[in-house]
Structure 1
Amino acid sequence: MTRMFAAVLPPEPVKEDLAEFLQPRAEHPWIDPEQWHITLAFLAQVNDARLDELLDGLRAAGRRRSPMTLRLHGAGAFPDPVQAKVLWLDIAASAADREELHRLSTNVRRTAAHAGAPPDGKDFRPHLTVSRLKRPGQQLDWLDVLSTYDGSPWQATDFALIESHLGEGPRGRPRYEIVERFPLLGDRTD
């Protein structure tokens, strides 16, 4: 069994711009930009024997969904700003693109469940995690800072299946390995 997730990955210029915004605030424990992503589905247990079935299903999901224009704007915290464990940036998009992102997540989750890798039961909340805190605490000041960030729009033209290796990255964080990228082709006849 392998731990994986499906995600939309922001392009390099978007990551560079956000990293530049966060750089003067380096005293906070920001996540490495190479790990930034918008999780569509978390798959805690992917059966290696059914990986080809999962990949085929994700290719088909990509063919059905269309590219969308996304932007990082707004901020939040999980579970809440007073006892925050995670700080994140919101995903801004037109109503149509936001709906397309939700449909992509739904298609990915159904595909994974069909391939024997049921996703976690959490509702899809599009966001990009920028910080994971060791101890929960009040983060209102950091949310005020993050809420001033207004990223440039980008065209999301694909999504990826990523293998997660816990504790193998820098400072004991996860190491991510892209298994495959799936283009969004918008062919709803498939």
Structure 2
Amino acid sequence: MRAFFAVLPPPDVLDHLAAHLEPRREADTDHTWRWTRVQHLHLTLAFLGDLPDHREDDLAASATEWAGRQRPVSMRWGRAGAFPDPGAAKVMWIGVTDEEVGRELAGWSRALRDLSSHAGADVDGQRFTAHITVARSPRRVKAGRWVQSLDAYESPEFLVDEVVLIESHLGEGPGRSPRYEVRHAFSLGSPQKM
């Protein structure tokens, strides 16, 4: 199973971000960027290229225990960037505004990667940056002006009180985009019984 742990924003925050992105999408008249569908906007904590189906329940049990030990956090999204850099970008993103929250999310990412690896998943080991991907390009392009226009964004504050495990079904969504299926939701700060 191809899957990932993520933070999903509440609908009002998604709407707020979508309103900020819409004029930028419209300004991309040469279609340099593939803009992320609003329903796909999320903050990935750990990407699992392959989780053996028979290990999903074990991972869910471990993640439930982990989540019970975490505290919910308040966050805002803002400040933009590009990977690998704005001069030759393939990905544009919006980050988390508070550095302390970013460090906490990095800790979550490490823990969830460890749990996933222990469950036998093929875990992505790239350096973690707390962000949501808003657009991708098939080739490296200069993105300085795009990043600058995105950098003015700041979301309303929202509470993150759960983390989800999402299965990604490649090519099964509209326009051959992925279809996401929430497999498990883990409430933070409240131990759950399986």
Same fold (TM over 0.5): yes
Q: CA deviation at 1:138?
A: 0.6
Q: CA deviation at 1:145?
A: 0.4
Aligned match of 2:31: none
Structure 1 position 152 matched with structure 2 position 151: no
Pairwise CA RMSD:
1.4
Verify the 8 A CA contact 1:14 1:152 in the aligned structure 2: yes
Deviations 1:31-73 (A, max 9, x none): 1111011111000010011111011011111111110111111
Whole-angstrom CA distance in 2 between matches of 1:94 and 1:75: 14
Q: How many residues were matched structurally?
A: 185
Give the aligned residue type for 2:19.
E
Q: CA deviation at 1:94?
A: 5.5
Of 74, 96, 102, which aligns to 1:98?
A: 102
Q: CA deviation at 1:24?
A: 2.0
Whole-angstrom CA distance in 1 between matches of 2:125 and 2:46: 9
Of 40, 64, 70, which aligns to 1:35?
A: 40
Of 91, 107, 112, which aligns to 1:108?
A: 112
TM-score, reference length from structure 2: 0.90
Q: Equivalent residue of 1:82, what SS?
A: helix
Of 61, 79, 86, which aligns to 1:74?
A: 79
Whole-angstrom CA distance in 2 between matches of 1:101 and 1:24: 30
Whole-angstrom CA distance in 2 between matches of 1:98 and 1:135: 28
> Unpaired runs of 5+ in structure 2?
29-33
Aligned match of 1:18: 17
Q: Equivalent residue of 1:128, what SS?
A: strand
Aligned match of 2:174: 170
Q: 4+ runs of 1 displaced by more than 6 Å? A: none
Whole-angstrom CA distance in 1 between matches of 2:94 and 2:21: 12
Structure 1 position 86 matched with structure 2 position 85: no
Give the aligned residue type for 1:74.
R
Q: CA deviation at 1:184?
A: 0.6
Aligned match of 2:66: 61
Q: CA deviation at 1:149?
A: 0.6
Q: CA deviation at 1:148?
A: 0.7
Deviations 1:99-142 (A, max 9, x none): 32222112211110111114111121110100011222111111
Q: CA deviation at 1:23?
A: 1.6
Verify the 8 A CA contact 1:73 1:91 in the aligned structure 2: yes
Q: Percent of pairs identical after alignment?
A: 40
Q: Equivalent residue of 1:26, what SS?
A: helix
Give the aligned residue type for 1:10.
P
Verify the 8 A CA contact 1:66 1:184 in the aligned structure 2: yes
Whole-angstrom CA distance in 2 between matches of 1:94 and 1:169: 34
Verify the 8 A CA contact 1:65 1:100 in the aligned structure 2: no
